[in-house]
Structure 1
């Protein structure tokens, strides 16, 4: 019965949207009406308001949407929605300040002599505006007003002209910073949590293990990662647009003729182009660069963009004045002073203790004041001239409110959809499709593409994504990243601006094109660009590193990069070591021979054994790498046949689980039936019996050889895992032993420098007050504790301190002090006996294995390792065999 209300929910929403009812009210209205109707029907027919819900009751589902949105907005780790009004403000301010107009005019003159140059200039400016504004309507209208008359005047094909303008205006949806990417990141954060839970349950059902290894978990995403992931696909799309226009112009010169440049290509022209290009490019660099380098979060980058747009507008709308650039120059001076202070001083007001620290803080305060003066001056200008600032803030408030109201409505609609089992229905449909993940994914992409004909990008992002994303992300066969899925959906959603009948970019352009230009010619013009968007979608789908590489690279090269021992990195780290050793195996073997030839007699026995153990374990570790290859080959040989059988069994088991869930629901309904409903009880009992019979029938369909094949293959997988773990253990010990030995040897100068302090402590123990002696011992104890190899002396000094502090026993303290002296003398003797050749030999062995066997033991990856791992982790890795 709940499916009836599910169709009522979708029907009400479709009718409301089709009739032109505002989306912000259609989504929550459909949810409230349907949930209320289900509650009323449940009360009237069964006496239970929750009878016709899949789970829960009307109150829980009505409040769930509001609570979910409020929880997301206030959650510290997921505050990216705050960036939405900042980027909206930046885009509207740049559009109102006519910077887009300047860019279009300049680029048209620059690219005009190239075949299809005007069209290429439109795409180029569209890409620049996408990276600065991201407001589709503003971009399409601006380019339509400025460039369309010029293109038509120069005999451009009306279809090509309108198609290029409309398509270029939509680039703001995929080229960061983009509002849709922020919304998708927010939606995918919730979807990742659900997918992770589903995958853990799947792993437990498949293996019986209570805990799933972390490297099998679903990877989440953030707005910053979405921006990085969408950058290259966005540029790919720009390149496809430009190549298409260039090819069109070469094949049909009459439809995209060359335009002669007016004026000379001289220094004055170049200077004007630079003055127009440099400010928006600088803003792009500051906004995206601060995110990519990890200097700023998405919210902070949004604030940078908003302030930068305000400063740029401050000089653009005041053109012709003698002091037109004064606010911008003042702001630049302030930034320069702050940058100088940050580069040369410790800017920590709590830790400031010296005159130099105070100088840095004063410089920072002066720079901040100068910067605020420039920003304030720009704000005053934009406020006084045509009330630009006030209008921009009002438009920003309206747009932001619309976005958040739609988010709230969509959250309520999604909750209602789940209340009536819609999510289960969609999941069962997708998982029942033949072809596995890719058939599911293609169906989802097709549905999103079709919805783009009728719905706005925000509606699709907030209604469809929460339903389908957890299902796609949970599938271990593709093991896609959330950022890749988000960019794919973003590219798909972008087509919604061009697909008739409700292509918003077409509506925007229709409002500014001449009436003589038919709507049909506009539709013809965008067909090619819609096709190019689908081509870009296919390219990104077939080559995931286009999306995954930049986020992975930025993460691994950042200050907060995951340590080399991170479980997600281990497979790729093993590949790096195998590849590196395959090239440098000879060098490592030679270093091993030299290390074995070292004279270790001068070292203490424990250090000598440690060094010898390092060499032995390194040799065993190299052999273990070969065992990994052998074990992996054994798995690969059996993989194809096992994977096919695994797919058959898992599909049967999935169907069984669905039927078992249905059986529990039917049994629950039987229990809730009143005693005077024997016919309904009989009907439900018959359905329950049929369900149980189908379950038993499905269990008999599982191939008889399954248990044996699974056990055999699990043994191969276990052997591979043991080979990898064995190698990693040997490699860690090999490098750890030599690293510890070298650290002790390197600490020699610091160790010997404490001899005077150690000798002088005797008099303090004998003569000074107990409190002073305890303090002196504690200080010296700390000094030796910070030196590698100083533990024995530190422990003896600690015992002496405790003898004084607790027992007031100077004699016992002196005895323990004597033990410290003896240990120091022993170390001093062997340290002086160690030859330079032995010292350098140990260092040479350490350096020889540091970048291979010692990779996991480093504090962080070096650049070469990080780049290799970024490339390796950018590919999706099939995890089906673990489930």
Structure 2
């Protein structure tokens, strides 16, 4: 019975979270209650908690995680300064005369917002407020309109530079080094956040192209569901002024990482400064606007780091009760070997994506299962991309997908919840197909990083 305590810890945390308690305090509180009970019962060694101060201090001094507030500031600045809104207007004028052109514009702008914001909730809400009323006014089928917005909003999980990839990359890098050291390799080849960014490029682009392809085919088969806008002359000068600066900023940020010129943290600083300069150039950088951006950045950053601290307490207590050894034993004795173990992990992460945000899953689940899978020979870059796409899919899947709730919160009453659920189903199928392709052809995620290292 004692060996099942780690599993009971996990179940209790999920139940507490479902009751609506704050994530960080739910993780730390549950862990400390179990640790206290274990000390009293003589089944938990209190010396295990002595590692906690060093763990928290190391987290706060982690250079890689410093990229989180900087990328958040970059995205919030582009949103608050109405640069994203101008992007959508320009894209609509470029593609609007095509059937489904407005939906294609939403996909393209959503991709650019994903590359700048990297936060699912922020992108879905922003696109919902900006584009959903326009699409409905133009006669778009609510199912198509809401499905496109929800799907493109989740691109922030996979399109680099993504906060989800930054967090995943940091944890997988540590897990990879631990797995190498456990094999007796004392000078392990490091796996960085930049490698995960490079690995996400091909799957991310493929996913965007699949979205665009689906919208285009749907519009041809059902023209009344995605009517073309009245043809109008495109002002390419205005288009260039609205499109080139943010695209150039994203290219500079991502390009500096891919070229090895800057670390993700340094590139994030460039992105935050560049977004601020763009806002100033457009006359959108008032004292009030800067205060709004700072407030939004601090809120998200505090949430991330508080959850990280709570997760650190939880993981230490979980390991103190022998949780890692228990899971390792389950995986080692599981029929089917590494394939079955990976499948089980993916199913569990998918289901947890209904009730937990990607930050909680990244900090709680990934540190537990990643070292075990990496010890079994799983490629860390492939594993990171699979987890990111998996979470992106679960955020879209009815009835509990986070993206659906975000859009429901800003959608007009004329849009029924059933429309949102039906609209995302084709995009869920597309993402499942991408997951299957990644499972069958890992080179989709590993080929480009291997080329870049040569």
Could you tell me the TM-score, scaled by structure 2's length? 0.95
Partner of 1:436: 337
Cα distance in 1, alignment partners of residues 7 and 372 from structure 2: 21
Gaps of 5+ in 2: none
The alpha-carbon deviation at position 186 of structure 1 amounts to 1.2
Given candidates 84, 88, 96, the residue that maps to 1:100 is 84
Partner of 1:514: 412
The alpha-carbon deviation at position 501 of structure 1 amounts to 4.3
Q: Is the 8 A contact 1:65 1:414 kept in 2?
A: no
Partner of 1:617: none
Deviations 1:516-567 (A, max 9, x none): 21112111111221221121122222222222232223222xxxxxxxxxxx
Gaps of 5+ in 1: 43-51, 201-211, 319-381, 557-883
Partner of 2:280: 314
Partner of 2:46: 58
SS of residue in 2 equivalent to 1:172:
helix
Would the alpha carbon gap of residues 8 and 546 (structure 1) be closer, same or farther in structure 2, given more than 3 Å must change?
Answer: closer
SS of residue in 1 equivalent to 2:210:
helix
Partner of 1:190: 174
The alpha-carbon deviation at position 315 of structure 1 amounts to 2.3
Cα distance in 1, alignment partners of residues 332 and 368 from structure 2: 13
The alpha-carbon deviation at position 73 of structure 1 amounts to 4.2
Q: Is the 8 A contact 1:452 1:499 kept in 2?
A: no
Cα distance in 1, alignment partners of residues 289 and 401 from structure 2: 29
Partner of 2:452: 554
Partner of 1:788: none
Q: Does 1:456 align with 2:440?
A: no
Partner of 1:301: 267
The alpha-carbon deviation at position 450 of structure 1 amounts to 1.0
The alpha-carbon deviation at position 227 of structure 1 amounts to 1.1
Partner of 2:256: 290
The alpha-carbon deviation at position 68 of structure 1 amounts to 2.3
Which of 180-189 and 412-421 deviates more? 412-421
Cα distance in 1, alignment partners of residues 437 and 189 from structure 2: 22
Q: Is the 8 A contact 1:90 1:309 kept in 2?
A: yes
Cα distance in 2, alignment partners of residues 295 and 96 from structure 1: 29
- Larger RCO (CA within 8 A; separation ≥ 6): 2
Partner of 1:472: 373
Cα distance in 1, alignment partners of residues 11 and 300 from structure 2: 28
Which of 153-162 and 275-284 deviates more? 153-162
Given candidates 149, 157, 160, the residue that maps to 1:165 is 149
Q: Does 1:180 align with 2:164?
A: yes
Q: Does 1:446 align with 2:347?
A: yes
Q: Is the 8 A contact 1:98 1:316 kept in 2?
A: no
Would the alpha carbon gap of residues 41 and 296 (structure 1) be closer, same or farther in structure 2, given more than 3 Å must change?
Answer: same
Q: Is the 8 A contact 1:218 1:481 kept in 2?
A: no
Deviations 1:663-717 (A, max 9, x none): xxxxxxxxxxxxxxxxxxxxxxxxxxxxxxxxxxxxxxxxxxxxxxxxxxxxxxx
The alpha-carbon deviation at position 497 of structure 1 amounts to 2.5
Q: Is the 8 A contact 2:151 2:424 kept in 1?
A: yes
Would the alpha carbon gap of residues 87 and 499 (structure 1) be closer, same or farther in structure 2, given more than 3 Å must change?
Answer: same
Would the alpha carbon gap of residues 431 and 115 (structure 1) be closer, same or farther in structure 2, given more than 3 Å must change?
Answer: farther
Cα distance in 2, alignment partners of residues 494 and 242 from structure 1: 17
Given candidates 102, 115, 119, the residue that maps to 2:99 is 115
Cα distance in 1, alignment partners of residues 221 and 155 from structure 2: 25
Given candidates 386, 389, 396, the residue that maps to 1:491 is 389
Cα distance in 2, alignment partners of residues 530 and 507 from structure 1: 16
**CA RMSD, Structure 1 to Structure 2 (Å):** 1.8
The alpha-carbon deviation at position 458 of structure 1 amounts to 0.6
Q: Is the 8 A contact 1:219 1:481 kept in 2?
A: no
Partner of 2:425: 527
Cα distance in 1, alignment partners of residues 46 and 5 from structure 2: 13
The alpha-carbon deviation at position 219 of structure 1 amounts to 5.0
Q: Does 1:142 align with 2:103?
A: no
Given candidates 70, 74, 84, the residue that maps to 2:57 is 70
The alpha-carbon deviation at position 136 of structure 1 amounts to 2.3
Q: Is the 8 A contact 1:218 1:474 kept in 2?
A: no
The alpha-carbon deviation at position 7 of structure 1 amounts to 4.1
Partner of 2:39: 39
SS of residue in 1 equivalent to 2:99:
coil
Query: Bigger radius of gyration, 1 or 2?
Result: 1
Q: Is the 8 A contact 2:196 2:381 kept in 1?
A: yes
The alpha-carbon deviation at position 306 of structure 1 amounts to 0.4
Q: Does 1:234 align with 2:219?
A: no
Q: Is the 8 A contact 2:118 2:164 kept in 1?
A: no
Partner of 1:390: 291
Which of 177-186 and 1-10 deviates more? 1-10
The alpha-carbon deviation at position 512 of structure 1 amounts to 1.7
Aligned residues: 454
Partner of 1:222: 192
Cα distance in 1, alignment partners of residues 127 and 178 from structure 2: 42
